[in-house]
Amino acid sequence: MDLKSYLIFTSIVCYLPIIVFLLKNISKAKNKNLRFLLLHFILIVLVLVSRLLDHINLISINISFTTSIIILAFLMYYLYVDNLKINKSYFQKKLLIPLIFFIVINLLDNQIFSDFKIKSFKIIRFSNDVFITISNILTYFLLIPYILTLIWINIQKTYNITAKATIEKKILKKWIIPYTLLKTLFFIFSAFPSKLLGENFVNVFYFINSVILFLMATYLLFSPKLLVNISKSFSLKTPNPLKSKELLVIDNLLSKKQYFLDNKMHLIKFTAIINKNPVQIRNILKENNYENFKDYLNSFRAKYLKDLIDKGFLNTYSIDTALKQSGFNSHQTMSRTFKKHYNTTVKEYWQKVKST
């Protein structure tokens, strides 16, 4: 096996631990969005395998098919990043219209670009001399940069929305941003034929890529919480500190008799008690950046729990007793909510209170 084949092979090996990690842990993950990430990695391995087999002349690669797999790999990663922020429709106009356009120009390639073919333009470093159509080149050079641009825009928006150093920002900093940067650089360098860059440069780039992938795969295997313990949705919208007048009225109704301490309280039950329209309450909460009524209730429970800790409740009772006393149903919900609102864990906050 020559050096280039060996480097492609090591890239495949580096991706495999991530795939194994996701396969083993995806059923435990709260966020089903990880399936997009798993599919993304599988598609990348398929591309690398095809490159390897083509390079050692075992199979002859179909350019259009491989370009489609590469596009799908980038698309799956875009869907992963986009759906971290909030659960929404996968097929948006900003994505659907370009996809339809490129599908059309590829299907009608012979009719539109019948007189234009470029021979031996090794856009994705295939060893054989092949004809690459104009539609392949347009798809590769226009659609992937467009998807990458959408990914970076979403990362920027997500990073700016996160008001505090939460688990979400940790995932952005330690995983999503470095990996997206790697994908962007990989695309930029893969766009140049090896004849222009030189075979040695290509081999060095493959080597660096393999090392980075190995480090990231190892890091994820030793830090499984980074991807597995993502909350049901990314919950990046923090409650509006300047509450609307309508919400202040609801605050007063909820806190006056401490309905939030009832761990079976839900929107329909609460609106029946206060004689309000559930749809109206949902809209008010949404306008004030609360995900739903449960998220709104938990904000009061977190504040109540904080007050209990300030009064020394945990000096006598356990955390489990405190969470039940505050109206929480689970330790996980309590931890996530407290961290979201106070940028620290319950135990850390308790230790801080004790030390002062």
Q: What is the pLDDT of residue 345?
A: 86
In this predicted model, what pLDDT tens digit does every residue of 162-197 receive, in sequence order?
A: 444 455 667 788 788 888 998 898 888 776 655 555
State residue 146's pLDDT score. Answer: 93
For residue 167, what pLDDT is reported? 58
pLDDT at 234: 47
Pairwise CA distance, residues 349 & 336, whole Å: 14
**d(C-alpha 62, C-alpha 176), whole Å:** 31
Calpha distance 74→336 (Å, rounded) = 31
> Residue 182 has what pLDDT?
86
Output the furthest CA–CA distance in the chain (Å, rounded).
Answer: 83
Position 135, amino acid: S
3-state secondary structure the chain: CCHHHHHHHHHHHHHHHHHHHHHHHCCCCCCCCHHHHHHHHHHHHHHHHHHHHHHCCCCCCCHHHHHHHHHHHHHHHHHHHHHHHCCCCCCCHHHHHHHHHHHHHHHCHHHHCCCCEEECCCCCCCCCCCEEEHHHHHHHHHHHHHHHHHHHHHHHHHHHHCCCCCHHHHHHHHHHHHHHHHHHHHHHHHCCCHHHHCHHHHHHHHHHHHHHHHHHHHHHHHCCHHHHCCCCCCCCCCCCCCCCHHHHHHHHHHHHCCHHHCCCCCHHHHHHHHCCCHHHHHHHHHHCCCCCHHHHHHHHHHHHHHHHHHCCHHHCCCHHHHHHHHCCCCHHHHHHHHHHHHCCCHHHHHHHHHHC
Report pLDDT for 152: 92
> What pLDDT sits at residue 28?
67
Contact status, residue 151 vs residue 78, Cβ threshold 8 Å: yes
Contact 214, 139 (CB under 8 A): no
Residue 232 has what pLDDT?
44
Report d(CA 201, CA 207) in Å as an integer: 10
CA distance 75 to 72: 5
Contact 60, 27 (CB under 8 A): no
Q: What pLDDT does residue 112 have?
A: 66
From first to last of the 356 residues of the chain, give the pLDDT tens digit.
Answer: 677 777 778 888 888 888 888 887 777 666 677 888 889 999 988 888 887 887 777 777 777 788 888 899 999 999 888 877 654 555 577 788 888 888 887 777 666 666 655 544 444 444 455 566 777 778 888 899 999 999 998 888 777 654 444 556 677 887 888 889 988 988 887 766 555 555 666 667 767 777 777 787 777 777 766 676 554 444 444 555 567 788 888 888 888 889 999 989 999 999 998 888 999 898 888 877 788 899 899 999 999 999 999 888 888 888 889 988 999 988 888 888 888 888 788 888 888 888 87
Residue count (the chain): 356
pLDDT, residue 305, reads 92
Kindly report the pTM of this predicted structure: 0.60
